[in-house]
């Protein structure tokens, strides 16, 4: 194994203000400064600063060749000097160098990987970068055909010298700002591991950027286009490439991460606000195609669900690959509806008895438990109620989803009285936290169609779409502990508006000790029947993309036995 020997490469073009302080913080690491065509007077200052520090080599390009060209020159020199790894540090002083030991430790533990900074921004990030950087990273994930790609534009990273120079020789064309993006995507294509390390980023007041808004944006757009068609050519091999980190249990929903991280949602929100709904839908379409092509688990779960709905007559369309794709499209529209609702664009709600009951309960001041489902978009109703100020809402959801939701909600609707509670189980501890909310007339909302995250045994089996399925005990246990009326809420898209289905589930859910599980099973069976009736109206709007039905040897006999027990 080659000995780990690292140096630092600092490409610079007229950046000199922060150079001395950067060199002073490198703890004696051998450093190669590449002066990429700076103005002669600035170049002389750069040369002078380098001479003041030991083990710093100054190299000058008389003509500016671009950041990528400077980095490649530095790496070629690093290989000549026998270094195995090169740390790229931009010369503008934006990156917190206290993260350098973490980058080096990660590279030392993963010598074949590119280790790149994951920017942690403060309030001083320029608006243009706040908008376009997530958009760029979003398309990087698409073109890499990977959900978890470290930040592709961070200028603070560690390269394995030989592997990267070989990759550059074979396929990397970018010589300017697009180099950072291209090297990350193509490294992933050829199987070079990518690791991320959090790095704080600041924007000094006297800082300036070498980024040419017209030239470099055109270059980046052209690069993303080339990468997209290169991705299409490689798509089969990228999808089916072996991943040693995959596990069989990923088929369970609790092991699957929601396939739309913060920056993706944030980017969609920006597009929606600036360009409107139709442009946002157009931007989402290739994303949905990507997720449909790569999401084998979710695609099979969709087909399985549609098959069940068709077999029992709740869906009139025979399951096909096209119908599954329409199922994914429907989910994409629901995501956009969420963004629309939380950006204060009040959706149209069709009038009806359910809406009247909903408004009556909202204005009554009574605290209730609302059991909903991943059907349609109950988020729309929560947003309308919250933004109107009629009722505060407390939503129970999976831990990571709660963090994402709270972060997005704080940005999209900072005055909203909605709180997301991160929970892994529903029990007395959670009930104590929420009991005060109920006493103050607030709502507690929980989905009834997903099994618990950490305690997957806390379920009951009831008939659902012709087969035994597992439903969580939590919603019914919670309502019993809170001693509050329980209501069912479903909200589905209907044409240009939304149809509300709101009904009382139970004045009080009682779980006697003598027959606790039997009582929960009866409530769960009642809930499942209500969910079936809504699915019959809009079968493409139920969005549980995981294997929902429990494997049983004799479906029909087990279903009959459970049905009898529930009656």
Could you give the number of structural domains in the chain?
Answer: 2
Residue 251 maps to a domain:
no
Task: Say what the pLDDT of residue 246 is.
Answer: 38
For residue 242, the tally of other CB atoms under 10 A from its CB is 6
Burial of 79 (0-12, 13-18, 19+ CB in 10 A): middle
| Helix axes of 262-275 and 277-294: crossing angle, nearest 10 degrees | 150
Look at residues 207, 239, 271 and tell me which one is the last residue of a structural domain: 239
Task: Say what the pLDDT of residue 140 is.
Answer: 84
Task: Say what the pLDDT of residue 132 is.
Answer: 65
Q: What is the CATH number of the domain that holds 174?
A: 3.90.550.10
Residue 319 maps to a domain:
no
CB neighbour list of residue 401: distance below 8 Å, 6 or more residues apart: 258, 420
Look at residues 239, 261, 281 and tell me which one is the last residue of a structural domain: 239
CA distance 154 to 177: 11
pLDDT at 150 over 90: no
Owner of token pair 């490689």: 234
**Given the DSSP bridges, would you call strands 486-494 and 156-160 parallel, antiparallel or unpaired?**
unpaired
pLDDT at 263 over 70: no
Query: 17: helix, coil or strand?
Result: coil
Read off the pLDDT of each residue in 307-327 and give the average, rounded to a whole number: 93
Print the domain residue range for 214: 6-239
Look at residues 212, 239, 266 and tell me which one is the last residue of a structural domain: 239
Q: Would you say 372 and 423 are in contact if contact means Cβ atoms under 8 Å apart? A: no
**Given the DSSP bridges, would you call strands 31-36 and 156-160 parallel, antiparallel or unpaired?**
unpaired
Same domain for 208 and 73, yes or no, is: yes
Residue 512 maps to a domain:
yes
Burial of 30 (0-12, 13-18, 19+ CB in 10 A): middle
Q: For the segment 349-369, what is each residue's pLDDT rounded down to a tens digit?
A: 888 898 889 888 888 888 999
Residue predicted with more confidence, 552 or 109: 109
Same domain for 379 and 515, yes or no, is: yes
Closest by CA to 201, choosing from 151, 158, 160, is 151
CB neighbour list of residue 131: distance below 8 Å, 6 or more residues apart: 270
Same domain for 39 and 162, yes or no, is: yes
CA distance 299 to 293: 8
Residue 135 maps to a domain:
yes
Q: How far is CA 314 from CA 302, 305, 532, in A?
A: 15, 11, 8
Residue 274 maps to a domain:
no
Residue 289 maps to a domain:
no
Residue 142 maps to a domain:
yes
Same domain for 14 and 137, yes or no, is: yes
CA distance 77 to 72: 9
Residue 30 maps to a domain:
yes
Q: For the segment 467-477, what is each residue's pLDDT rounded down to a tens digit?
A: 999 898 888 98
Q: For the segment 18-77, what is each residue's pLDDT rounded down to a tens digit?
A: 899 999 999 789 999 999 999 999 999 999 999 999 899 999 999 988 888 999 999 999
Most confident of 32-36, 376-380, 479-483: 32-36
* Mean pLDDT score of the chain: 80
pLDDT tier for residue 254 given thresholds of 50, 70 and 90: very low
What one-character-per-residue DSSP string does 345-376 give? -PPPB--SHHHHHHHHHHHHT--EEEEE-SBB
Structural tokens at position 483: 């001693």
Read off the pLDDT of each residue in 292-303 and give the average, rounded to a whole number: 84
Task: Say what the pLDDT of residue 456 is.
Answer: 47
Rg (CA), the chain: 28
Same domain for 229 and 377, yes or no, is: no
Read off the pLDDT of each residue in 261-277 and give the average, rounded to a whole number: 65
Beta strand extents in 265-412 (DSSP E only): 368-372, 393-397
CA distance 335 to 481: 32
Closest by CA to 296, choosing from 324, 326, 320, is 324
Q: What length does the chain have? A: 567
């Amino acid at each position: 194994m080659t000995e780990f020997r690292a140096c630092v490469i600092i490409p610079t073009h007229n950046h000199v203000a922060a150079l001395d302080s950067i060199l002073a913080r490198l703890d004696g690491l051998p450093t190669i400064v590449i002066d990429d065509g700076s103005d002669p007077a600035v170049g002389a200052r750069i040369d002078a600063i380098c001479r003041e520090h030991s083990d710093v080599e100054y190299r000058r390009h008389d003509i500016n060749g671009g950041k990528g060209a400077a980095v490649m020159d530095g790496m070629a020199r690093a290989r000549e000097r026998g270094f195995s790894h090169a740390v790229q540090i931009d010369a503008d002083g934006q990156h917190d160098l206290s993260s350098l030991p973490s980058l080096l430790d990660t590279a030392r533990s993963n010598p074949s990987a590119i280790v790149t900074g994951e920017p942690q921004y403060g309030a001083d990030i320029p608006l243009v970068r706040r908008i376009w950087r997530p958009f760029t990273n979003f398309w990087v994930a698409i073109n890499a055909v990977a959900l978890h790609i470290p930040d592709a534009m961070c200028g603070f990273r560690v390269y394995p010298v030989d592997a990267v120079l070989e990759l550059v020789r074979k396929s990397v064309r970018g010589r300017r700002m697009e180099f950072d993006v291209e090297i990350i995507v193509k490294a992933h294509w050829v199987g070079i591991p990518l690791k991320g390390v959090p790095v704080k980023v600041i924007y000094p007041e006297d800082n300036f950027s070498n980024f040419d808004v017209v030239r470099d944006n055109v270059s980046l757009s052209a690069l993303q286009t080339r990468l997209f068609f290169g991705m299409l050519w490689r798509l089969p091999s990228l999808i089916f490439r072996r991943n040693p980190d995959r596990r069989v249990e990923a088929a369970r929903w609790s092991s699957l991460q929601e396939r739309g991280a913060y920056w993706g949602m944030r980017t969609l929100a920006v597009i929606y606000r600036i360009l409107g709904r139709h442009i946002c839908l157009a931007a989402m379409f290739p994303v949905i195609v990507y997720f449909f092509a790569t999401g084998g688990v979710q695609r099979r779960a969709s087909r399985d669900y549609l098959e069940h709905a068709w077999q029992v007559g709740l869906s009139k369309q025979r399951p096909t690959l096209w119908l599954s794709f329409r199922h994914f499209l429907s989910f994409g529209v629901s995501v956009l509806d969420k963004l629309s609702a939380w950006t204060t664009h009040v959706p149209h709600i069709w009038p009806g008895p359910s809406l009247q009951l909903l408004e009556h309960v909202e204005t009554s001041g009574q605290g209730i438990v609302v059991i909903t489902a991943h059907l349609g978009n109950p988020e729309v109703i929560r947003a309308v109620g919250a933004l109107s100020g009629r009722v505060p809402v407390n939503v129970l959801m999976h831990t990571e989803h709660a963090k994402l939701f709270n972060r997005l909600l704080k940005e999209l609707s900072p005055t909203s009285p909605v709180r997301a509670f991160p929970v892994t189980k529903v029990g007395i501890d959670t009930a104590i936290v929420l009991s005060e909310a109920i006493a103050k007339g607030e709502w507690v909302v929980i989905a009834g169609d997903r099994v618990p995250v950490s305690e997957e045994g806390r379920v009951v089996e009831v008939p659902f779409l012709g087969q035994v399925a597992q439903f969580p005990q939590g919603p019914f246990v919670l309502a019993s502990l809170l001693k509050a009326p329980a209501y069912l809420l479903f909200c589905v898209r209907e044409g240009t508006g939304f149809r509300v289905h709101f009904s009382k589930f139970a004045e009080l859910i009682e779980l006697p000790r003598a027959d606790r599980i039997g009582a929960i099973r009866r409530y769960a069976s009642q809930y499942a029947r209500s969910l079936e009736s809504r699915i019959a109206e809009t079968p493409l709007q139920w969005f549980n993309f995981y294997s929902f039905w429990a494997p049983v040897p004799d479906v029909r006999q087990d279903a009959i036995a459970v049905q009898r027990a529930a009656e």
